[in-house]
Amino acid sequence: MPVTKTKSKLKAKAAKPAPASVKAVAPPRDYKPLDPKRITDLLNRLNAAYPDPKCALTHRNAWELTVATILSAQCTDVRVNMVTPELFAKYPTPADLARVQPELIEPDIRTTGFFRNKSKSIVGAARKVMSDFKGKVPETMDELLTLPGVARKTANVVLGSWFGKAVGVVVDTHVYRLSRRLEITKADNPVNIEQDLMKIIPQNKWIDFSHQLIWHGRKICFARKPNCAECPLENLCHAADKTWSTVPIHKSARP
Ligand code: SF4
């Protein structure tokens, strides 16, 4: 058997999750979760694990990404990606959606949940794009926020992933949960979490960082039973709900 295989077998055996039996404690006084060295370490490990992070919502232009992000609220990207091809085939442009009543598209987006509100937002956004922005999705935060159904999360997705503008940090459910587990924020609402992250993450990393946390939340740091034994951030993380730990668990590090 090749040496590498033997080693990886041994490693797997050694890393077999022991329960997170460590009793949760208060962080030591000299613990600084925002220490620049720790943040750099986190960023480097995320870069190594997710070197080319991309938005998981299928889209071909800024308008499609806007609609897909509105649809992604309380819904998985996989589900959104099942719905949007047909929706965009029927209504390819904002002009097409601006012309219809919201009720007409409800059946097309029903499976994404909250379909009544979402259909109103999408048609409302299409009408606004037509009336105020000559049919083009605007490229500034202030203008994007005038579109019905668009709050900072959607605006940051569109600005970052389509226009390549790092105006803020996307805070979705994954970024919310992971940044609290990792103790890089204590805030409990997306607006304040975004402000905290913007202070500690270099601006040129804002776009990638949010995508990386989103991917990490999808693949390893699940809401329930995170897969800590496989996590590249493990010894930097003191989350109270870890499933396995080599470091002390902090009572306050809650998702
Ligand atoms: S160690 Fe566990 S809780 Fe912490 S980031 Fe990794 S998967 Fe999430």
Stretch (H or E) spanning 228: none
Annotation says 153 is catalytic: yes
Share of the chain above pLDDT 90, in %: 87
Q: What domains are there in the chain, each with its CATH number? A: 24-50+169-255 (1.10.1670.10), 62-162 (1.10.340.30)
Structural tokens at position 19:
């329960």
Provide φ and ψ at 8, rounded to 5°. Answer: -70, -30
* pLDDT confidence bin for 22, thresholds 50/70/90: low
User: Which pLDDT score is estimated for 12?
Assistant: 43
Note the pTM of the prediction, 2 decimals: 0.88
> In the predicted model, is pLDDT for residue 6 greater than 50?
no
User: Which pLDDT score is estimated for 122?
Assistant: 98
pLDDT (tens digit per residue) in 171-194: 999 999 999 999 999 999 999 999
pLDDT (tens digit per residue) in 205-240: 999 999 999 999 999 999 999 999 999 999 999 999
Share of the chain above pLDDT 70, in %: 91
Catalytic one of 108, 118, 128, 172: 172
pLDDT (tens digit per residue) in 59-71: 999 999 999 999 9
174 close to 220: Cβ distance less than 8 angstroms = no
pLDDT (tens digit per residue) in 239-253: 999 999 999 999 889
Strand locations in the chain (E): none
CA of 230 to the centre of ligand 1 (A): 9
Inter-axis angle of helices 77-90 and 102-109, nearest 10: 130
CA of 253 to the centre of ligand 1 (A): 11
pLDDT (tens digit per residue) in 119-156: 999 999 999 999 999 999 999 999 999 999 999 999 99
User: Which pLDDT score is estimated for 11?
Assistant: 44
Distance of alpha carbon 248 from alpha carbon 204, whole angstroms: 32
Best probe residue, ligand 1, of 222, 225, 237 (max atoms within 8 Å of C-beta) = 237
Catalytic one of 108, 118, 128, 153: 153
Q: Please choose, from the candidates 237, 255, 220, the residue with its C-alpha nearest in 3D space to the C-alpha of residue 22.
A: 237
pLDDT (tens digit per residue) in 161-170: 999 999 999 9
Give the CA dihedral 206, 208, 209, 215, nearest 10 degrees: 150
Best probe residue, ligand 1, of 46, 176, 235, 242 (max atoms within 8 Å of C-beta) = 242
Cβ atoms within 10 Å of 39's Cβ, excluding its own: 18
Annotation says 37 is catalytic: no
- Does residue 73 sit in helix, strand or coil? coil
Which residues surround ligand 1 with Cβ inside 6 Å? 181, 220-221, 226-228, 231, 233-234, 237, 239, 242
When the pLDDT of each residue in the chain is averaged and rounded to a whole number, the result is: 92
Q: Please choose, from the candidates 55, 45, 87, 6, the residue with its C-alpha nearest in 3D space to the C-alpha of residue 178.
A: 45
Distance of alpha carbon 68 from alpha carbon 89, whole angstroms: 14
Residues 6+ apart with CB under 8 A from 196: 179, 184, 185, 186, 187
Best probe residue, ligand 1, of 228, 230, 235, 250 (max atoms within 8 Å of C-beta) = 228
Structural tokens at position 126:
């299409």
> In the predicted model, is pLDDT for residue 1 greater than 50?
no
* pLDDT confidence bin for 36, thresholds 50/70/90: very high
CA of 221 to the centre of ligand 1 (A): 5
Determine the straight-line distance between the first and last CA of the chain, rounded to whole angstroms: 43
Q: For tokens 């998985």, what's the residue?
A: 76
CA of 51 to the centre of ligand 1 (A): 19
User: Which pLDDT score is estimated for 5?
Assistant: 42
CA of 255 to the centre of ligand 1 (A): 10
> In the predicted model, is pLDDT for residue 25 greater than 50?
yes
> In the predicted model, is pLDDT for residue 87 greater than 50?
yes
**What's the average model confidence in pLDDT over 7-14?**
44
Q: Distances in Å between the alpha carbon of 13 and those of 49, 74, 98, 131?
A: 22, 38, 58, 62
